[in-house]
Structure 1
Amino acid sequence: MKADSKVQRRLLDLAAIDTALAQLAHRRRALPERAELEALARELSALEDERVRAQVSVDDLDRDIDRLEKDVDQVRARKSKDEARLAAGTGPARELEALQHELVSLSRRQGDLEDAELELMEQRETAQGVLDGVEKRLAEAREKRAAVEQRRDESLAGIAKEEEFKRAARRPLATDLPADLVALYDRIREDTGLGAALLTAGRCGGCRLELAGADLARIRAADPDDVLRCEECRRIMVRTTESGL
């Protein structure tokens, strides 16, 4: 393939733009906010599991307290009924005496239930404190996630703006160059990441290898308009006064 040497030099401008675009794509993939969000996602998942466990503990205690409260109410109702019958003083003496014994037993039962209920209420207060702490950490983690997402979106918007600027500069440049030369350049770029590189002081700018004497002789003998490629990396080598030929 042949192309005017000046046209070939313009491939370096195209390569510079494509390199910048590749760097922007790398920046998008390697945004530190991505790693932060992944870590926060794991933290939020763990905290949500912890919150569920804490909520289950509170709910279980609430059910136990409610059950005990119902038991206490039943004992109180039975006591009230027995106290009313005892106060009325009607019925055989043996029944009245049995009522007195039952009231003593009910009072003891009520005391035991109320003590158990008090203990559960203290446990619930502790469990609620744990739940409140977890929910606070969840809220803080969510706020942090929102802040990181905002930073990520701002960074992505900045990268997108730079990419559009670079693509806008690339379009007329690529259009102005010979189609077959650009097609070759693009194929090489897709395979290697860099389509063309400057030959500097006898060294390929693509693979950074110093050319052997036979290769340099071949290049020196080539017509200035010949499109030359590196034998090692197969990239287009652009010759200038810096090439050391």
Structure 2
Amino acid sequence: MKADPKDQQRLLDLQAIDTTLQQLAHRRKNLPEIAELDVLGKAIGRLEDERARAEVDVDDLDRDIARLEREVDTVRQRSAKDQQRLVDGRLPARELTALEHEIASLARRQSELEDAELELMEKRETSQAALDAVDEKISVAREKRIAAENRRDNSVSEITKEAEWKQNARRPLAADLPAELVQLYDKIRESSGGLGAALVQYGRCGGCRLELFGADRNRVKSAPVDEVVRCEECRRIMVRTGESGL
């Protein structure tokens, strides 16, 4: 392929833009906030699981405490009735004795229930503290996530703007170059990791960084200035200038 040496040199300008666009795309894909958000998302998921378990513990204790309160209330009501019957004093001696035993038994039962209720209330206080603690952790993690999302969005916005500027600069440059040359450059770039053209500098290919020797060096050196020369090793377009050292 033939191309004006100036057009070949302008391929380096096109390559510089494409390299920047590739770097911007890499930056967008590998923003530190993306990894941070992934970590935070997993952490919040674990905390929400922990919260669900803590909430179940509190609910179970609330249910058990409510049950004991009902039992205590039932015992109190029954004891109050027995106390009233005892005060009335119109029962035979045998029944009064039995009633006194029942009142004593109810008092012990009430004491046992109240002790059990107190123990559960202490456990509930501990469980509620655990629930409050995990709620605080979730709140902090969510705030961090919001902050990271904002930083990510700001970075993406800046990258998008810069990419748009580069794309706007690329279009007229690519349009002004020979279509066949640009097509060859784009084809090589797509198959060569984003680098389609490189400067030959001090006898070395700027693409694969290998020094030209022997017949290969003579081939490049003797090629007409308008000949589009490609590296035998990496197959990229080698742009020759006064810095090529050939």
Matching of residues 101-140 of structure 1 within 5 Å: 101-140=101-140
Q: Deviations over 1:49-87 (max 9, x none)?
A: 111111111111111111111110110111111112222
Structure 2 residue aligned with 1:184 = 184
Letter in 2 for 1:121: M
Shift of 1:241: 0.7
Percent identity for Structure 1 against Structure 2 = 66
Structure 1: where are the runs of 5+ without partners? none
What CA distance in whole angstroms lies between the structure 2 residues aligned with 1:75 and 1:173? 93
Q: Deviations over 1:100-126 (max 9, x none)?
A: 110000011000100110111011111
Match of 1:162 in 2: 162
SS of the equivalent of 1:147 reads helix
One-letter amino acid matched to 1:116? A
Shift of 1:137: 0.8
- Name 2:77's counterpart in structure 1: 77
* Aligned pairs (5 A) from 1:214-225: 214-225=215-226
| Structure 2: stretches of 5+ with no match in the other structure | none
* Equivalent in the alignment of 2:40: 40
* CA-CA distance at 1:187 after TM superposition: 0.6
Shift of 1:39: 1.2
In the alignment of these two chains, the number of paired residues is 245
What amino acid maps onto 1:68 in structure 2? Answer: L
Q: Hey, what does 2:5 align to over in structure 1?
A: 5
Q: Deviations over 1:190-230 (max 9, x none)?
A: 01110100011110000000011211111122111111100
SS at match of 1:148: helix
- Asked if 1:210 corresponds to 2:211, the answer is yes
1:22 matched residue in structure 2: 22
1:142-162 alpha-carbon deviations (Å, 9 max, x no partner): 001100110111011000010
TM-score by length of 1: 0.98
Matched, 1:232 2:233: yes
Return the alpha-carbon distance in structure 1 between the equivalents of residues 224 and 151 of structure 2.
53
Rounded Cα–Cα distance in structure 1 between residues aligned with 2:179 and 2:138: 57
Letter in 1 for 2:94: R
Alignment TM-score, normalising by the size of structure 2: 0.97
CA distance, structure 2, for counterparts of residue 170 and residue 16 of structure 1: 10
Distance 1:65 1:219 in 2: 91
Output the CA distance in 2 between the equivalents of 1:189 and 1:219: 21
More displaced stretch, 182-191 vs 39-48: 39-48
State the partner residue of 1:53.
53
Q: Distance in 2 between matches of 1:81 and 1:182?
A: 102
C-alpha distance in structure 1 between counterparts of 2:92 and 2:178, whole Å:
122
What amino acid is aligned across from residue 198 of structure 2 in structure 1? A
SS at match of 2:238: strand
Which amino acid in structure 2 is aligned with residue 159 of structure 1?
I
More off after superposition, 47-56 vs 11-20? 47-56
Matched, 1:86 2:86: yes
Deviation at 1:91, TM superposition (A): 3.1
The SS at the match of 1:243 is coil
Rounded Cα–Cα distance in structure 1 between residues aligned with 2:2 and 2:64: 89
Per-residue deviation, residues 16-42 of structure 1 (Å, max 9, x unmatched): 000000111111112111111111112
